[in-house]
Chain A
Amino acid sequence: MTSLGKPIAHESACDHVTGSALYTDDLAGRFPGLLHAHPVTAPHAHARVVALDPSAALAEPGVVRVLGPADVPGENQIGPARPDEPLFPSEVMFHGQAVAWVLAESEESARRGAAAVRVDYQPLPATLDLEAAIAAEQFLTDPLRLQRGDAAAGLERAPHRLTGELFVGGQEHFYLETQSAIAHLDEQGRVFVHSSTQHPSETQEIVARVLGLRKHDVTVQCLRMGGAFGGKEVQANAWAAVAALGARLTGRPTRVRLSRAHDTTLTGKRHPVLGRFEVGFDAQGTLLALRMQLFADGGWCLDLSEPIVYRALFHSDNAYRIRDVELVGRVVRTHKTSMTAFRGFGGPQGMIMIEEIVDRVARTLGIEPHQVRERNFYREGDCTPYGQVVRDPDRMPRIWGELTASCDYFERRRQIAEHNSRAPHAKRGLAITPVKFGISFTTAFFNQGGALVLVYADGSVQVNHGGTEMGQGLHTKMLQVAAHTLGVPMAAVRMMPTQTDKVPNTSATAASSGADLNGAALKVACETLRARLAEVAAPELGAAPDELVFDEGRVFARSRPERALTFSHVAHQAHFQRVPLLATGYYRTPGIQFDKVTGTGKPFHYFAYGAAATEVEVDGFTGMYSVRRVDILHDVGDSLSPLVDRGQIEGGFVQGLGWLTLEELVWNADGRLATENASTYKLPGLGECPPIFNVALLGRASEPDVVYGSKAVGEPPFMLAISAREALRDAVAAFGAGAAGVVELASPATPEAVFWAVERVRRSGSKA
Chain B
Amino acid sequence: MAIRFTLNDAPVEVADFDPNTTLLAFLRGRGMTGTKEGCAEGECGACAVALVERDARGNTRYQPVNACLLLLGSCAGREIVSIEGIAQGGELHPVQRAMIDRAGSQCGYCTPGFVVSLFAEYYRPGRTEVDPEAIAGNLCRCTGYRPIREVAEGLGQPGDDDPFRRRLALAPPTLEPVQHRSGAGRFLRPGTLQGALTLLAEEPGAVIVAGGTDVVVEVNQRHRRHRSLLSLENVAELAVFEQSADRIRIGAALSLTQIEQHLAGTVPLLAQLFPLFSSRLIRNRATLGGNLMTASPIGDSPPALLALDAEVELASPSGTRTLPLSDFFTGYRQTARKPDEILAAISIPLPLPNVQRFYKVSKRVLDDISTVAAGYSLRVDGAGKISAARLAYGGVAPTPARARDAEAFMVGQVWSHELVKHTLPILARAFSPIGDHRGSADYRSTLIVRLLEKLWADTSGGAA
Query: Is there a chain A Cβ closer than 8 Å to B50's Cβ?
Result: no
With A176-B110, A622-B361 known as contacts, the answer to whether A655 contacts B141 (CB < 8 A) is yes
Residues of chain A with a CB closer than 8 A to B223's CB: 111
Known: A226-B108, A227-B141. 9 other contacts (CB 8 A): A9-B100, A9-B101, A10-B106, A12-B105, A17-B105, A18-B92, A174-B141, A646-B103, A678-B43
**Contact yes or no, A679 B143, CB < 8 A:** no
**Contact yes or no, B451 A621, CB < 8 A:** yes
Query: Is there a chain A Cβ closer than 8 Å to B453's Cβ?
Result: yes
**Contact yes or no, B364 A662, CB < 8 A:** yes
**Contact yes or no, A224 B108, CB < 8 A:** yes
Query: Is there a chain B Cβ closer than 8 Å to A188's Cβ?
Result: no
Residues of chain B with a CB closer than 8 A to A261's CB: 221
Q: How far is the CB of A732 from chain B (nearest CB, A)?
A: 15
**Contact yes or no, B454 A13, CB < 8 A:** no
Binary per-residue interface labels of chain A (655-694) against chain B in the complex, 1 for a CB within 8 Å, 0 otherwise? 1000000101010000000110111101111111110010
* Of A467-475, A499-507, A557-565, the one with at least 4 CB within 8 A of chain B: A467-475
Q: How far is the CB of B274 from chain A (nearest CB, A)?
A: 14
Query: Is there a chain B Cβ closer than 8 Å to A296's Cβ?
Result: no
CA of A232 to CA of B432, assembled, Å: 43
**Contact yes or no, A425 B457, CB < 8 A:** yes
CA of A19 to CA of B96, assembled, Å: 10
Residues of chain A with a CB closer than 8 A to B439's CB: 752
CA of A175 to CA of B139, assembled, Å: 10
Residues of chain B with a CB closer than 8 A to A307's CB: none
**Contact yes or no, A683 B363, CB < 8 A:** no
- Return the chain B residue nearest A750 by Cβ: B363
Query: Is there a chain B Cβ closer than 8 Å to A260's Cβ?
Result: yes
**Contact yes or no, B136 A18, CB < 8 A:** no
Q: Which of A226, A472, A679, A686 contacts B145 (CB 8 A)?
A: A686
Query: Is there a chain B Cβ closer than 8 Å to A586's Cβ?
Result: no
- Return the chain A residue nearest B103 by Cβ: A643
Q: Which of A28, A174, A682, A688 has the most CB of B within 10 A?
A: A682
Q: Which of A19, A225, A751 contacts B84 (CB 8 A)?
A: A19
With A26-B33, A176-B46, A225-B107 known as contacts, the answer to whether A674 contacts B437 (CB < 8 A) is yes
Q: Which of B111, B147, B453 has the most CB of A within 10 A?
A: B111
**Contact yes or no, B87 A678, CB < 8 A:** no
Residues of chain A with a CB closer than 8 A to B135's CB: 686
Number of chain A residues close to chain B: CB under 8 A: 80
Residues of chain B with a CB closer than 8 A to A685's CB: 136, 139, 145, 364-367
Q: Which of B109, B217, B436 contacts A176 (CB 8 A)?
A: B109
Q: Which of B92, B107, B359 has the most CB of A within 10 A?
A: B107
Query: Is there a chain A Cβ closer than 8 Å to B440's Cβ?
Result: yes
- Interface residues of chain B, those whose CB is within 8 Å of chain A, are 28-29, 31, 33-36, 38-41, 43-44, 46, 82-84, 86-87, 92, 96, 99-101, 103-112, 115, 133, 135-136, 138-149, 217, 221, 223, 359, 361-369, 371, 436-440, 443, 446-447, 450-451, 453-454, 457
CA of A655 to CA of B141, assembled, Å: 7
Q: Which of B82, B359, B361 contacts A751 (CB 8 A)?
A: B361
Q: How far is the CB of B444 from chain A (nearest CB, A)?
A: 9
Q: How far is the CB of A57 from chain B (nearest CB, A)?
A: 16
Q: How far is the CB of B22 from chain A (nearest CB, A)?
A: 12
Query: Is there a chain B Cβ closer than 8 Å to A177's Cβ?
Result: yes
Q: How far is the CB of A123 from chain B (nearest CB, A)?
A: 23
**Contact yes or no, B363 A687, CB < 8 A:** no
- Interface residues of chain A, those whose CB is within 8 Å of chain B, are 9-10, 12-23, 25-26, 28-29, 111, 173-178, 224-229, 259-261, 425, 470-473, 619, 621-624, 626, 643-644, 646-647, 650-655, 662, 664, 666, 674-675, 677-680, 682-690, 693, 750-752, 755-756, 759
With A647-B143, A655-B144 known as contacts, the answer to whether A622 contacts B451 (CB < 8 A) is yes
Residues of chain A with a CB closer than 8 A to B454's CB: 425, 619, 621-622
**Contact yes or no, A752 B38, CB < 8 A:** no
**Contact yes or no, A227 B109, CB < 8 A:** yes
**Contact yes or no, B34 A20, CB < 8 A:** yes
CA of A441 to CA of B342, assembled, Å: 63
Residues of chain A with a CB closer than 8 A to B108's CB: 10, 12-13, 15-16, 21, 224, 226, 471
**Contact yes or no, A680 B144, CB < 8 A:** no
- Return the chain B residue nearest A111 by Cβ: B223
**Contact yes or no, A687 B142, CB < 8 A:** no
With A176-B107, A662-B363, A688-B364 known as contacts, the answer to whether A227 contacts B142 (CB < 8 A) is yes
Residues of chain A with a CB closer than 8 A to B145's CB: 654, 684-686, 688-689
**Contact yes or no, B366 A621, CB < 8 A:** no
- Return the chain B residue nearest A257 by Cβ: B37
CA of A624 to CA of B346, assembled, Å: 31
A-B contact pairs, 24 of them (CB 8 A): A9-B100, A12-B108, A17-B96, A17-B115, A18-B83, A18-B92, A19-B82, A21-B111, A28-B28, A29-B29, A29-B33, A176-B36, A176-B140, A471-B105, A624-B362, A650-B146, A678-B38, A679-B39, A679-B217, A684-B364, A685-B364, A688-B365, A689-B144, A751-B363
CA of A35 to CA of B271, assembled, Å: 49
Q: Which of A472, A622, A685, A689 has the most CB of B within 10 A?
A: A685
**Contact yes or no, A679 B147, CB < 8 A:** no
